[in-house]
Structure 1
Amino acid sequence: MNDRWAKAALTAYRVAGSLAYPAVGSYVSWRASKGKEDKERRRERYGIPSEIRPPGVPLVWVHAASMGESAAVSPLVSEIAADGITIVMTTGTVTSAATVAERLGDRVIHQYVPLDLKPCVSRFLDHWQPELAIVAESEIWPTTMSELAARRIPQVLVNARLSDRSFKRWKSAPGVAEALLSKLAHVVAQSEIDGERYHLLGARAVSVAGNLKADVEAPPAHLLDLEAARQGIGMRPVWAALSTHEGEEEMAANIHLRLMEERGRVLTIIVPRHVERADAIQRDFEAKGLQVARWSRGELPTPTTDIFLGDTMGDMGFYLRLTEVAFIGKSIRGEGGQNPLEAAMLGTAILSGRYVQNFREVYHRLIERGAAWIVQDEAELGAAVSELFDRPAARRQMMDAARDSVADMGGALKRTMAALDPFLLPLRLSCRMDWGN
């Protein structure tokens, strides 16, 4: 019954996609009008290529949906490309496309990922004809996976993770989960828990490599911008609330006001996860009497700035280098947490709420080393910030522990490449034969 139900569910998904296909153009156009799609390249979303496939060479398709995933797999992609293998890399957002251009340049052919509709996926695969598909983290698209399987193209999920919520959802439809995950040739999981979950849901071959994000270089920052910002900050104490979700910005503002009462001028850096909320956030801050500088407008902190609002994408390296203390959001008012690895690799004392299920393994290691403190609510967060301002030795100890934790977590790239080796070896040999000719 499970198999029959799973087959019916996947058939219904494909039929719904076929029925929705005529309306897809309006949807993509609407997204383009909001800046969520590249207007000049939106045809790629229908699987229509904007580049020519190099003839007669092995090609690997790598997909990373978001900016963080694109950065995480960039070293992996560089290693594969170094063997002479051609790579077409797809992403789902404009910001992730910019990350690919910045980190990988002409080492890959970038395209936007085709919509998970049969005509779009078929066009994409007909043109690019990949010998291998590598997908980052938790991207499960039924039509794409089915089309790859039908063409006998191996599919490997790397840096794979499965949140508590996603695992619960897949467990409620075990037949569908097994029907899809059994199509994967290999799952390379971030942690033992992730690996066990994929195995229980039906993945056949599973290994654990760790988190690729621990092997990524620290996010960059422009030195002139840093110097100018530091001059405006002066000797004031600074803390940051990063990747915040709704409600957490207000918490940070309230803490800022209390810190000002305790110690005079303080600078609080706030970087919302969704920068489109910046106008509303600024209005709320100004209603509290706070002076706000916004980086998207080229404004830097001055001696009278209360809040430096980081309302840009891709500048986390800049914001982190301005502070030694950072709260990582979606962990008190949101749920699941955000990735603390960038803060850790830049040697930041990390504070977080308790709702960090999506990054449980990373936080476990940070807490074990003494690099992160867990707080329950706004009052505890404010007290922790104040304590770290007053205890510079404890702050420096946390900062050193954060760097050490990232060093301990390294090696995921090497282990992932080892897991991929059986799939890449024939392609490397093909490249060498071509060079010999």
Structure 2
Amino acid sequence: MSSGLARIALASYRLAGITLYPLSSPYLAYRAMKGKEDSSRRLERLGYASLARPRGPLVWVHAASVGETMAVMPLIRELRRREIHILLTTGTMTSAALVQARLGDEVMHQYVPLDVKFPIKRFIAYWKPDACITAESEIWPTTVVELARRRIPQIRVNARISDRSFTRWSNHNNIAETLFEKLALVVAQSDLDAERFRDLGAWPVIVSGNLKTDTDPPPCDEVTLARYRKEIGARKTWAAISTFDGEEKAASAVHRALKPKNGQLTIIVPRHPDRADEVEEMLKGEGLNVARRSRNDEITAAVDVFLGDTIGEMGLYLRLTEIAFVGKSLTNEGGQNPLEPAMLGSAVLTGPNIQNFRDSYHHLVRKGGARVVKDIEMLAKAVHYLMINDLARRKMVDAGHEAMEEMRGALGKTVKALEPYINPLTVSARLQPKTVAAAVR
């Protein structure tokens, strides 16, 4: 595709957004009815602010969902230490709840506006960010173009690009170059990610490692943890976390195969808790007794599966086991983050489809902290082996900790790369009077 056709394609995307804009409100209302939007804050998605813009330097940080939000928290705290105001946008209600629970008043949270001309222009005109830092693999064309028009630096941190996304962008290389060249800086997770961003037109690109290695382990309520540990008692446990459709059935098959040998408790944590009803129905259909966290069910000796169907409690579920299978890797593709179970002392198991977390798994597998299983039978054998072999399990747990220590340091490298952009803002922030501007409507 020529550069002229690329400009036409981007103009057509922009025009389509403008044409469909009158349908935005009904669309958001429908999503709110389905529980996918916060009905009280729908206007934020149209670029209308619900908070006052403070005086002084402000950095817009965008993290699409929970994983990205967790990754940028240490960076946000570093920026706040420098007295720079942070506007944090996310795209899901789950991530918004996480921001409130973990960051509270440290940041101003808004839902990210739709990638349409009018909401984006309204959003940028009101907040006037001095820089935009994005922790996401997606590129939103209208947002990129509008920020570039105002010469607001766009920086991508913890950046990665999946095999599928790279192939898609490579097939439209002129469009990719038109957009990626507008990024002021890319801080990539790995050498492969960096090479891909450069191939698509981004410059400069540096490698930092994964910011998630520098995050704190997910917390949990100690009273709740003590209660469940008491209820579980001496039973062996294993967990299947961040599971997608088909993987809960695989976990059920593993449980039924191992129950006569081990009498274990299986913990299943679906990636999307709104699937819990269908997961429970499937498990009961397999003849299993289920306790659900959302119902505050007791884990009695008769319970086969503890279904973790709540948001923000992964720290609880992982502290109840030392064996964790990480989903979206056996019956789905891409994988999910293995770093949290490694941090919290679990031997990590995964299916073979881990393209999105290739670098993290490479380190864990190389050190011996993770193992790849190709099918349900192999998963069952691995879980059984780790349950009955304390020494092997502890060696994997210790190896996971060692791998995590080796991977740390991404935060320092990221902050160093950002210094040309944030140091002037730090000076300006410290010269600002500590007052807040009135909201502009």
Fold agreement, TM-score > 0.5: yes
Deviation (angstroms), 1:355: 0.7
Q: Does 1:156 align with 2:160?
A: no
Deviation (angstroms), 1:32: 1.0
User: Where does residue 65 of structure 1 map in the other structure?
Assistant: 64
Greater relative CO (CA pairs within 8 A, separation 6+): 2
**Structure-to-structure mapping, 1:6-405, within 5 angstroms:** 6-55=6-55, 57-263=56-262, 265-405=263-403
* 1:143-179 deviation line (CA, Å, top 9, x unaligned): 0000000000000000000011111111111011111
Q: Structure 2 vs 1, CA of residues 436 and 73 (structure 1 numbering), >3 Å: closer, same or farther?
A: closer
**How far apart, in 2, do the equivalents of 1:115 and 1:340 lie?**
31
Deviation (angstroms), 1:243: 0.8
User: Where does residue 427 of structure 1 map in the other structure?
Assistant: 425
Q: Structure 2 vs 1, CA of residues 300 and 160 (structure 1 numbering), >3 Å: closer, same or farther?
A: farther
Deviation (angstroms), 1:433: 2.9
TM superposition score normalised by structure 2: 0.97
Deviation (angstroms), 1:434: 2.8
**How far apart, in 2, do the equivalents of 1:190 and 1:357 lie?**
13
Q: Which amino acid aligns with 2:336?
A: Q
Deviation (angstroms), 1:134: 0.4
Q: Which amino acid aligns with 1:424?
A: I
Deviation (angstroms), 1:282: 0.8
Q: Which amino acid aligns with 2:181?
A: S
**How far apart, in 1, do the equivalents of 2:164 and 2:329 lie?**
15
Deviation (angstroms), 1:116: 0.4
**How far apart, in 1, do the equivalents of 2:85 and 2:326 lie?**
37
**How far apart, in 1, do the equivalents of 2:402 and 2:253 lie?**
32
Q: Which amino acid aligns with 2:6?
A: A
Q: SS in structure 1 opposite 2:157? A: strand
Q: SS in structure 2 opposite 1:143? A: helix
**How far apart, in 1, do the equivalents of 2:361 and 2:308 lie?**
24
**How far apart, in 1, do the equivalents of 2:63 and 2:397 lie?**
30
Q: SS in structure 2 opposite 1:170? A: helix
**How far apart, in 2, do the equivalents of 1:137 and 1:282 lie?**
32
* 1:332-383 deviation line (CA, Å, top 9, x unaligned): 1001111101001111100111110000000000001000111110000000
**How far apart, in 1, do the equivalents of 2:354 and 2:93 lie?**
27
Alpha carbons 1:234, 1:303 under 8 Å: kept:
no
* 1:121-150 deviation line (CA, Å, top 9, x unaligned): 011011010110000031311000000000
Q: SS in structure 1 opposite 2:103? A: helix
Q: Which amino acid aligns with 1:206?
A: V
**How far apart, in 1, do the equivalents of 2:261 and 2:54 lie?**
64
Alpha carbons 1:228, 1:300 under 8 Å: kept:
no
**How far apart, in 1, do the equivalents of 2:111 and 2:99 lie?**
11
User: Where does residue 4 of structure 1 map in the other structure?
Assistant: 4
- Pick which of 294-303 and 363-372 moved more: 294-303
**How far apart, in 1, do the equivalents of 2:208 and 2:298 lie?**
41
* 1:185-233 deviation line (CA, Å, top 9, x unaligned): 0000001100110000110110000100000000001111111111111
Instruction: For structure 1, list consecutive stretches of 5 or more residues without a partner in the other structure.
Output: none
Q: SS in structure 1 opposite 2:53? A: coil
RMSD across aligned positions (CA): 1.3
* 1:267-309 deviation line (CA, Å, top 9, x unaligned): 0001111212111111111111110001111113211100001
Q: SS in structure 1 opposite 2:301? A: coil
Q: SS in structure 2 opposite 1:379? A: helix
The alignment-based identity, stated in percent, is 52
Q: Structure 2 vs 1, CA of residues 228 and 436 (structure 1 numbering), >3 Å: closer, same or farther?
A: closer
Deviation (angstroms), 1:313: 1.6
Q: SS in structure 2 opposite 1:126? A: helix
Q: Which amino acid aligns with 1:259?
A: L
Alpha carbons 1:71, 1:103 under 8 Å: kept:
no
Which 4+ runs in 1 deviate beyond 6 A? none
Q: Which amino acid aligns with 2:151?
A: R
**How far apart, in 1, do the equivalents of 2:300 and 2:174 lie?**
59
**How far apart, in 2, do the equivalents of 1:275 and 1:115 lie?**
25
Q: What is the number of equivalent residue pairs in this alignment?
A: 435
Q: SS in structure 2 opposite 1:305? A: coil
Q: SS in structure 2 opposite 1:61? A: strand
Deviation (angstroms), 1:435: 6.0
**How far apart, in 1, do the equivalents of 2:107 and 2:288 lie?**
46
Deviation (angstroms), 1:436: 11
